[in-house]
Structure 1
Amino acid sequence: MELNDANLQQLCGYLQQTLSPDPNVRRPAEKILESIESNQLYPVLLLTLIDKAEIDMTIRIAGSIAFKNYIKRNWAAHEDDGSPDRIAASDRAAVKSMIVTLMLKSPLSVQKQLSDAVSIIGKHDFPKKWPELIGEMVDKFGTGDFNVINGVLQTAHSLFKRYRFEFKSQSLWEEIKFVLDRMAKPLTDLLLALMNLTKAHEGNVEALKVIYGSLVLVCKVFYSLNSQDLPEFFEDNMQTWMNAFHELLTIDVPSLNTNDDEEAGVLEHLRSQICENIAMYAQKYDEEFRPFVQQFVTDVWELLVKTGIQTKYDNLVSNALQLLSHVAERTHYRALFEDPKILASICEKVAIPNMDFRQSDEELFEDSPEEYIRRDIEGSDIDTRRRAACDLVKTLSVNFEAKIFQIFSEYLQILLAKYNENPKANWRAKDTAIYLVTSFASRGGSQKHGVTQTSELVPLPVFCAQQIIPELERPDINELPVLKADALKFVMVFRSLLGQQTLLSCLPQLIRHLPAESGVVHSYAACSIDKILIMRDSNNSLL
């Protein structure tokens, strides 16, 4: 293929046709593009078309998507299956020389697709076959153009996030060192410049959104670069980063607060990522991070107390609670939590409010039972407030069992008394009570056997007889369905500890709930019966 206007025009026409709602127009155009993509200069032709401002934006976006998919299909295909390389060496070199500059000057919708393409190429070629990429990106930090800077940060995030989960190896260490030598200082300088800009543009809401958006990306890149080990540069500059994190957790920026109850704003995303960063340091780099722990526990505690129950704060609250759990796990931080007043305050103001069954939970229960079950039983609720609050309670109850039991016993009585006053109106109080007992009592178990170790302070059979079985015995199997589901799940989770007689007395009630209208209730009933019927005794005989 030649790089000329006629070919560009023809390519433009095919891309236009791929946007047609008529399959008789769209599919032939897609087939033609697929058939010519092995031609030399095809990727260069695509990038040239994307770069032309006079071409309609929808066609440029279609071109950027076609380019990304072309890279995804072909860049490493010959390495994976041993087939001949479909991309000429000259095209590979041309793509790498053009794509970063083009990506950074493109509109956001195009930039995103090209950023993904850079990440795919980088995964295979960076750093050995594309060592100049990092220098090209870092140079752009000095432009002062946030469209460009955010494009670089987004690409860096896509490129480096695999460091979070890849297995340790010599080649990985070498790559991370290569990146750190070139990226760590410029990233730190950018952080400080952004912190100064937040003050310089205090009155400009649009500017602040962009600046804080850049800070979110800086914090994501920081997480990736620190995931495998504590780099020497970041250890030497820990004070700088931690001061910035402290300031960003505690600063109030009313102009960035959103009116939307469900969609998180830039400030929530930023604080959530900072909590993740701090939690990683608390877990992995305990000794070096120790001087900062008390300050961050205070910051996060104050943040949790003033954060509302709206869905938009869920990720932030979950990460903040997980941070407290990680700190509370360490024996040398026990002094931070030992005071009964502090423990009572954590239970009252943080743990219990975040265990409450909210309106959004009820909507999920009624409208998306499969998703509710996936979160509640299958463990995909790892990032929810409830699970994070539950993990915090478990951690505190292991380290401060007697004190926590005393505090929770008082709240348990209050919650159950509130429920008994008016069961139909106050059923949420009992839901929280059951969740509280489950969180506190559980000490260990497995998928096969349920919970097998519990706190000796919790009389499970008594609680089951007084609070769980009465819910299952209600004549109407469709009344208060959330409490029915709670009761069924309680029997299922603690089946190995309730004793054979209790399970035998429960079985008819479980069977009775199989035709319940609620998808969650009848699924839990079926699941409970299934788990009980495959239980075995110490001789491996079926019970």
Structure 2
Amino acid sequence: MALDLQQLSKALEASLDPTKNKQAEIALLQEEKKPKFALSLLQIVATGTSGDTARLASALYFKNLIKRRWVDENGKHKLPQNEVIAIKSELIGLMISVPPNVQNQLGDAISVIADSDFWERWDTLVDDLASRLTLDNSQQNNGVLQVAHSIFKRWRPLYRSDPLFIEINHVLGKFGTPFLSLIESTDRLISQSQNEQKTLRELFTTLNLIVKVFYDLSVQDLPPIFEDNLAAVTTFLHKYLVYENKLLDTNDDTEAGPLQLVKASILELLEMWVQKYEDAFGQHVAPFIESSWNLLTTVGIEVKMDILVSKALQFLTAVTHSAEHAQAFNNQNTLGQVVEGVILPNLNLRDSDVELFEDEPIEFIRRDLEGSDSDTRRRSAINFLRQLMAKFEALVGVVALRYIDHYLSEYDQDRSSNWKSKDTAVYLYSAVAAKGAITASQGVTSIHDFANVVDFFQRNIATELVADQGTPSILKVDAIKYLYTFRGQITAGQWQEAFPLLVKHLGSSEYVVYTYAAIALERTMALSNVSKQPVIGRSDVEGLAPQLLEHLFGLIERDSQPAKLQENEFLMRCIMRVLIVIKEGMLPSVETILLHLIKIIQVSCQNPSNPKFNYYLFEAVGALIRYSASTLPDKLETDLYSPFATVLQNDVQEFVPYVFQLFAALLEANPSGSLSEYYQSLIPPILNPTPWSSKGNVPALVRLVTAIIPRGANVMVQNNQLDTLLGIFQRLVSTKTNETYGFDMLESIISYIPQSALQQYYVIILQVLLTRLQSSRTDTFATRFVRLYHFISAKDDTGLGADFFISVADQVQAEEPPVPTTSDDVIVEQDPEDMSFGVGFTQLTTIRRPVRDQWPEIGDVKAWVSEYLKAADRRHNGTISTNARERLSAEVATAFAVYLQN
């Protein structure tokens, strides 16, 4: 059936509307089954007659379609070959002609295609790109360079290998010379367009892409064509590092313009070159050091300059890794100039930082804690200073402490007006005191010799935590963050005094203050000493827990809009940590905790928007189940059924894998040992093909099914569900992605399904496994197959054993039938790789499945092996012991004899 482009455009537009997207996605999945669907998407992108929204939505859907359906796990194309050829022939020209926002989506799709096809199955691509480069059409050149960058940037994180260098050399052989010619022509056009703003801006877009492609092409090794022309290339780069033209300025002080972006890209390229190619680039680096220094001492404080300043600082940081270049800073006067002229101006709190603190508090926190501020002035300045510390600890320490004392004195002179000086002092001390990496679990693990972090805290910071009024909020945050940063350096006794102060600050009306308090509390509760014992234990938290949890829940629930409720993952992480720490101490409060968690799940279901928040939410539920379900199984099963059922019924894809895991944990914790009607009712829907169609559901579904089988094996046999189980096993074990889950399910089936019901299927099961072993073996599959052999061989007490396995293997013949399926079981007829995938699987650690002992009745393994061997030896009239003496080496025979001794 032909595709209706107008209807398809409407469905694509609706897919971007949160109120319509579920229905639209269902409709689009149906459209996907029609021939030339991918080409129809490109047709909508190309014409643009349906409007910009439909055009962008079509490009987005095309990108995701390519991610899902370009190749299978063996690298074979899943689309018809004629469509594959058509897409490759059309895509480059199309990307060059579309607007930038659409171009970005198509670029990602090209990158995915290149991952599997470039360069052997798409060997015309580079010729196509090179032929489209022009001497004077910057718009077309920008499209070509955008495509090139989308492909070549794939090399950045890859490990060096022969196939990789073959690919890079293939590109350089065809693209290198035209690329260098483009540099010359672009430089000439810029010189000719000094007074033409529109043309100049377009050319600087070209220039920025040129520098990015320079990075891509040299990230693995410095190509000979670049090294041979390095003097000219570095002259070109330096020219535009110091280039100025008012026509390239922006009126917005917060938005970097094309000139700042080009200079930032140049500095990023130089940073990589100085780190990797010092031998070749070292002789050219001096002018760039001087120009970077001049830039840092003259540039303004506008936000739009931040990216440029941070890249300049990162370049100088890389330079100082070199012993030769670092010597330029090796005296106290020079270091003083560096700190005063470069470090401190970029370290001081600006009005824009305060505005961010007040107006976008969660963004302020994430930038500060999660490293998303890696391109900020503050972070880059500190990294530069810490690199200098690594080279010249004593000199830098003296200089830094002098300025720290200066700022603290300035604050003491007028605390209300000079509070920013205190912020600078604390920030600077925290930076220079820390030595080495700062870890997520312990914070700072080592400090410099001159630093006494506890003394500095007591003299300069503790008062900010104790004071109820009169302290600026940012200084309170500085104090809390200081504790958070140096938590590993503070003794358990000192923490007993500091912990209640953090709890107190959860009551602050300031968003950033109470969030930092929650962050510090959570990390402190997760902190352990050298003996692996918690610094803050259950007894320290249990008494505070009800009030602490109620307050944290209140902060989360103060705004019932889904997006706002899920905004602050740090609060939910703290709730999770409290539950993990107090363990069974939560039992008196289970009712209240459940009410809050269920309410949050129900609100979040409406529009899941923060994956981290929701991960911690379900980890919190997991902790609740882990420590209270065995005591209150009926209570938890009853109360959690409704919100969990809502997730499944509404197909909230982000939550479904969590719910399956939690259902499994509830069942595993139930001490009854039987399978209640509660879980029997779950069996039909979870054996239905639909939930298995989402790749992210598979591990969680296997966890749930293998939790049900031990208790419900007879029920499943009686309800004729064994065929369906085996159909799922076959589907899982046939793909590399899911093969381990297929073996997990099979082992559970063999362990618990009555052998009388399973006996007829063993030949077919083994045929499936041996066929896969011969046709597309992986190391994992082979290992699991061997494990299965030993698993079955060890179960001779149930009628199985090694002889049984061998006899079944002898019966396997190629004309034998496939695993039988019921008439309504379509799982074996569907390839999960062809289906729409939901959100990926994330394992909940609070309910991580314990290792299952398949033979719990065996306490002493050595004694059991000895008795087993002696019994077998008796049955065979001493043949085993005789063969051991005669056929084994002396060393092995001696070891073996131990097990046959009476």
Give the TM-score normalised by the residue count of structure 2: 0.55
* 1:321-368 CA distance string (max 9 Å, x none): 111111112212122212433222211121111111222322332344
1:346 aligned residue (338, 345, 356): 338
Q: Distance in 1 between matches of 2:455 and 2:306?
A: 34
Q: Distance in 1 between matches of 2:360 and 2:99?
A: 37
Q: Distance in 2 between matches of 1:99 and 1:373?
A: 41
Higher RCO, Cα 8 Å, sep 6+:
1
State the Cα distance separating 1:535 from its structure 2 match. Answer: 5.0
Are the counterparts in 1 of residues 134 and 140 from structure 2 also a CA contact under 8 Å?
A: no
State the Cα distance separating 1:168 from its structure 2 match. Answer: 2.4
For the pair 1:11 / 2:28, whether they are aligned, the reply is no
Q: Distance in 2 between matches of 1:190 and 1:249?
A: 18
State the Cα distance separating 1:305 from its structure 2 match. Answer: 1.4
State the Cα distance separating 1:86 from its structure 2 match. Answer: 4.9
Query: Residue type matched to 1:192 in 2?
Result: E
1:72 aligns to what?
67
For the pair 1:154 / 2:146, whether they are aligned, the reply is yes
1:380 aligned residue (366, 372, 386): 372
What SS does the corresponding residue of 2:227 show, helix, strand or coil? helix
Q: Distance in 1 between matches of 2:113 and 2:227?
A: 31
Larger CA deviation: 296-305 vs 139-148:
139-148
Are the counterparts in 1 of residues 11 and 27 from structure 2 also a CA contact under 8 Å?
A: no
State the Cα distance separating 1:494 from its structure 2 match. Answer: 2.1
Are the counterparts in 2 of residues 272 and 319 from structure 1 also a CA contact under 8 Å?
A: yes
1:4 aligns to what?
none
1:463 aligns to what?
456
1:139 aligned residue (121, 131, 142): 131
What SS does the corresponding residue of 2:444 show, helix, strand or coil? strand
Larger CA deviation: 500-509 vs 26-35:
26-35
State the Cα distance separating 1:120 from its structure 2 match. Answer: 2.8
For structure 2, the residue ranges without an aligned partner over 5 or more in a row are 536-902
Are the counterparts in 2 of residues 15 and 59 from structure 1 also a CA contact under 8 Å?
A: yes
Are the counterparts in 2 of residues 365 and 372 from structure 1 also a CA contact under 8 Å?
A: yes
Are the counterparts in 1 of residues 66 and 113 from structure 2 also a CA contact under 8 Å?
A: yes
For the pair 1:472 / 2:481, whether they are aligned, the reply is no
2:179 aligns to what?
187
* 1:394-450 CA distance string (max 9 Å, x none): 111222223222322332232112211221221111101001111111113533332
Mapping for residues 28-107 of structure 1, pairs under 5 Å: 34-48=29-43, 50-52=45-47, 63-76=58-71, 79-80=72-73, 86-107=78-99
For the pair 1:400 / 2:392, whether they are aligned, the reply is yes
2:121 aligned residue (129, 136, 141): 129
Query: Residue type matched to 1:456 in 2?
Result: D
Q: 1:406 to 1:88 in 2, by over 3 A?
A: same
Mapping for residues 24-423 of structure 1, pairs under 5 Å: 34-48=29-43, 50-52=45-47, 63-76=58-71, 79-80=72-73, 86-108=78-100, 110-142=102-134, 144-423=136-415
What SS does the corresponding residue of 1:454 show, helix, strand or coil? coil
What SS does the corresponding residue of 2:294 show, helix, strand or coil? helix
State the Cα distance separating 1:313 from its structure 2 match. Answer: 1.8
The aligned length equals: 533
For structure 1, the residue ranges without an aligned partner over 5 or more in a row are 2-6
* 1:168-225 CA distance string (max 9 Å, x none): 2222221111111112222222112111211111010111100111010011111111
Q: Distance in 1 between matches of 2:532 and 2:519?
A: 21
State the Cα distance separating 1:275 from its structure 2 match. Answer: 0.8
Q: Distance in 2 between matches of 1:126 and 1:243?
A: 33
State the Cα distance separating 1:467 from its structure 2 match. Answer: 0.7
* 1:365-398 CA distance string (max 9 Å, x none): 2344333333323433322221111111111122
For the pair 1:446 / 2:436, whether they are aligned, the reply is no
Q: Distance in 2 between matches of 1:527 and 1:24?
A: 34
Larger CA deviation: 353-362 vs 492-501:
492-501
Query: Residue type matched to 2:235 in 1?
Result: N
* 1:442-473 CA distance string (max 9 Å, x none): 11353333223222123433322221112222
Larger CA deviation: 66-75 vs 17-26:
17-26
Query: Residue type matched to 1:286 in 2?
Result: E
State the Cα distance separating 1:55 from its structure 2 match. Answer: 7.1
Mapping for residues 518-537 of structure 1, pairs under 5 Å: 518-532=510-524, 536-537=528-529
For the pair 1:514 / 2:489, whether they are aligned, the reply is no
Q: Distance in 2 between matches of 1:432 and 1:325?
A: 21
Q: Distance in 2 between matches of 1:526 and 1:49?
A: 49
Larger radius of gyration: 2
Are the counterparts in 2 of residues 18 and 27 from structure 1 also a CA contact under 8 Å?
A: no
State the Cα distance separating 1:90 from its structure 2 match. Answer: 1.5
Q: 1:126 to 1:506 in 2, by over 3 A?
A: same
Are the counterparts in 2 of residues 489 and 528 from structure 1 also a CA contact under 8 Å?
A: yes
Larger CA deviation: 406-415 vs 419-428:
406-415
Are the counterparts in 1 of residues 411 and 421 from structure 2 also a CA contact under 8 Å?
A: yes
For the pair 1:491 / 2:486, whether they are aligned, the reply is no
What SS does the corresponding residue of 1:129 show, helix, strand or coil? helix
Q: Distance in 1 between matches of 2:507 and 2:359?
A: 18
Q: Distance in 2 between matches of 1:379 and 1:57?
A: 35
Q: 1:516 to 1:213 in 2, by over 3 A?
A: same
Larger CA deviation: 373-382 vs 327-336:
373-382
Are the counterparts in 2 of residues 40 and 87 from structure 1 also a CA contact under 8 Å?
A: no
Q: Distance in 2 between matches of 1:108 and 1:365?
A: 32
State the Cα distance separating 1:278 from its structure 2 match. Answer: 0.4
2:662 aligns to what?
none
Percent of matched pairs sharing the same residue: 34
Q: Distance in 1 between matches of 2:20 and 2:369?
A: 47
State the Cα distance separating 1:503 from its structure 2 match. Answer: 4.0
Larger CA deviation: 175-184 vs 150-159:
175-184
What SS does the corresponding residue of 1:100 show, helix, strand or coil? helix
Q: What is the root-mean-square deviation in Å for CA atoms of aligned residues?
A: 2.9
Q: Distance in 1 between matches of 2:382 and 2:260?
A: 22
Q: Distance in 1 between matches of 2:180 and 2:30?
A: 47
Q: 1:337 to 1:33 in 2, by over 3 A?
A: same
